[in-house]
């Protein structure tokens, strides 16, 4: 049945009790290792879930030196108050809305820009194509901290000379995050588009489509799954970003990634509320990532395996 499994053949050829014992031990070891990995992966998730159902009192009064008060995995009193009151001390639902607006905006703008650029790279030969692709790879590796300060000052300047406010606005962050997500999005879309047979859109052009018409009438409908994957990637990226969000947002535009830190202040540590908020913040990412896992993983893998 399994011609590709060399171990099985080898074992079948030496069916002694000793070989069988080794085989059983190997299986047991394998499953033990898998369980160990899963435990390590899940501990923070489980601790987060458990904390979100505990009362604040239980967490605050926990004391590892006293066996009666030691922190427990199962809440002593199970409560949903942390979810009901999640918005009371920190305006996390406002931040959630801000994050939604910024992330969806990023998704749309990034897709608009990267579909056009991806189409150009997949279907046209032009001077400077090679250097442009190289520049995409370089910008992708450039960490934000290296241009954060001049970028911040640029916002101050634009406001002074044109009156356009970009700091503490949705459009400022949408523009910023879109260009962060651009290199990966363009390269991904290029490969999605390149996988569509050229004959299909050439036929459309013979039938009277312009090259741009062929993009909108033929290529985009065919590449819809890939486009969705790239859009979700841009969404998740802007949902999770911390550094620029902490400096370029204010009261009106703060995102969840930064807002979640407000549960801990110098006066008070509201761990229970924070854990509930953490779950609320994680769920959209978890759902979206599950939808596109295959595409993103393929993209990452092909991007790095090919070098």
Partner 1 sequence: MEQRGGEELEAQVRSRASAAVGRASRALAWRRTLPYLLIAPALLGTIFVHVIPIVWGVFISFRNLDIYTIANWRAAPFVGLANYLEALDLSDPDGVLFLRSVANVLYYGVVTITIGYVIGLAVALLLNQRFYGRTIVRGLVLLPYIMPDSVAYSVWRFIFQARVGIVNSFLMSLGLIKEPLVWLVGTRTMFSVMVASIWKGWPFASLLLLAGLQSVPRELLECASIDGANWWQRFRYVTWPHILPVTKTLLLLNILWNFNAYNQFKVMLGDDPGIYAEVPSTFVVRQAFDNLRYGMGAAMSVVLVLMMTVVAIIYLRTLKPGTSVED
Burial zone of 77 (CB within 10 Å; 0-12 exposed, 13-18 middle, 19+ buried)? exposed
Contacts of residue 277, Cβ cutoff 8 Å, sequence gap at least 6? 86, 90, 92, 256, 260, 263
CA distance 133 to 186: 9
Whichever of 50 and 85 has its CB closer to partner 1, that residue is: 50
139 binds partner 1 (CB under 8 A): yes
For residue 19, the minimal CB distance to partner 1 (Å) is 15
Closest by CA to 58, choosing from 70, 46, 44, is 70
For residue 237, the minimal CB distance to partner 1 (Å) is 10
Give the residue carrying structure tokens 């947002």.
Answer: 249
273 binds partner 1 (CB under 8 A): no
- Give the interface size with partner 1 as a residue count (CB under 8 A): 98
Question: CB neighbours (10 Å) of residue 284?
Answer: 17
Rg for the chain, CA atoms, rounded: 26
Select the residue interacting with partner 1 from 14, 57, 149, 164 (CB under 8 A): 149
Contacts of residue 36, Cβ cutoff 8 Å, sequence gap at least 6? none
Contacts of residue 278, Cβ cutoff 8 Å, sequence gap at least 6? 48, 52, 260
CA distance 261 to 57: 20
134 binds partner 1 (CB under 8 A): no
For residue 211, the minimal CB distance to partner 1 (Å) is 6
Pick out residues in 61-120 that bind partner 1 (CB under 8 A): 62-65, 70-71, 112-114, 116-117, 119-120
For residue 93, the minimal CB distance to partner 1 (Å) is 16
Select the residue interacting with partner 1 from 130, 131, 143, 208 (CB under 8 A): 143
Select the residue interacting with partner 1 from 41, 74, 199, 208 (CB under 8 A): 41
| Total length of the chain | 307
Give the residue carrying structure tokens 């486009």.
Answer: 227
For residue 228, the minimal CB distance to partner 1 (Å) is 17
Could you tell me which stretch among 86-94, 145-153, 193-201, 216-224 binds partner 1 (CB under 8 A)? 145-153
Whichever of 87 and 282 has its CB closer to partner 1, that residue is: 282
Pick out residues in 157-216 that bind partner 1 (CB under 8 A): 157, 160, 175-176, 178-180, 182-183, 186, 211-212
For residue 205, the minimal CB distance to partner 1 (Å) is 10
For residue 186, the minimal CB distance to partner 1 (Å) is 6
53 binds partner 1 (CB under 8 A): no
Contacts of residue 296, Cβ cutoff 8 Å, sequence gap at least 6? 229, 232, 233, 289
């Amino acid at each position: 049945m399994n011609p590709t499994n060399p171990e099985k053949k080898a074992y079948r050829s030496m069916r002694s009790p000793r070989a069988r014992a080794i085989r059983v031990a190997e299986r047991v070891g394998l499953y033990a290792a898998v369980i160990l990995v899963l435990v390590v992966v899940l501990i923070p998730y489980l601790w987060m879930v458990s904390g979100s159902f505990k009362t604040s009192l239980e967490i605050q009064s926990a004391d590892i030196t006293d066996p009666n008060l030691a922190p427990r995995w199962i809440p002593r009193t199970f409560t949903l108050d942390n979810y009901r009151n999640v918005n009371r001390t920190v305006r996390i639902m406002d931040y959630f809305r801000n994050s939604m607006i910024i992330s969806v905006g990023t998704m749309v703008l990034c897709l608009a820009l990267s579909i056009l650029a991806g189409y150009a790279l997949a279907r046209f030969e032009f001077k400077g194509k090679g250097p442009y692709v190289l520049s995409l790879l370089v910008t992708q590796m450039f960490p934000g901290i290296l241009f954060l300060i001049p970028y911040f000052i640029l916002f101050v300047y634009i406001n002074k000379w044109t009156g356009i406010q970009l700091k503490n606005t949705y459009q400022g962050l949408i523009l910023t995050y879109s260009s962060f997500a651009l290199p990966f999005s363009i390269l991904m879309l290029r490969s999605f588009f390149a996988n569509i047979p050229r004959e299909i859109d050439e036929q459309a052009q013979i039938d009277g489509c312009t090259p741009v018409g062929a993009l909108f009438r033929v290529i985009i409908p065919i590449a819809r799954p890939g486009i969705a994957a790239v859009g979700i990637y841009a969404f998740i990226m802007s949902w999770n970003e911390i550094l620029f969000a902490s400096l370029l947002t204010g009261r009106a535009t703060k995102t969840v990634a930064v807002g979640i830190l407000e549960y801990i202040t110098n006066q008070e540590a509201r761990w229970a509320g924070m854990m509930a908020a953490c779950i609320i913040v994680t769920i959209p990412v978890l759902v979206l990532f599950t939808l596109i896992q295959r595409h993103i993983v393929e993209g990452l893998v092909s991007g790095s395996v090919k070098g």
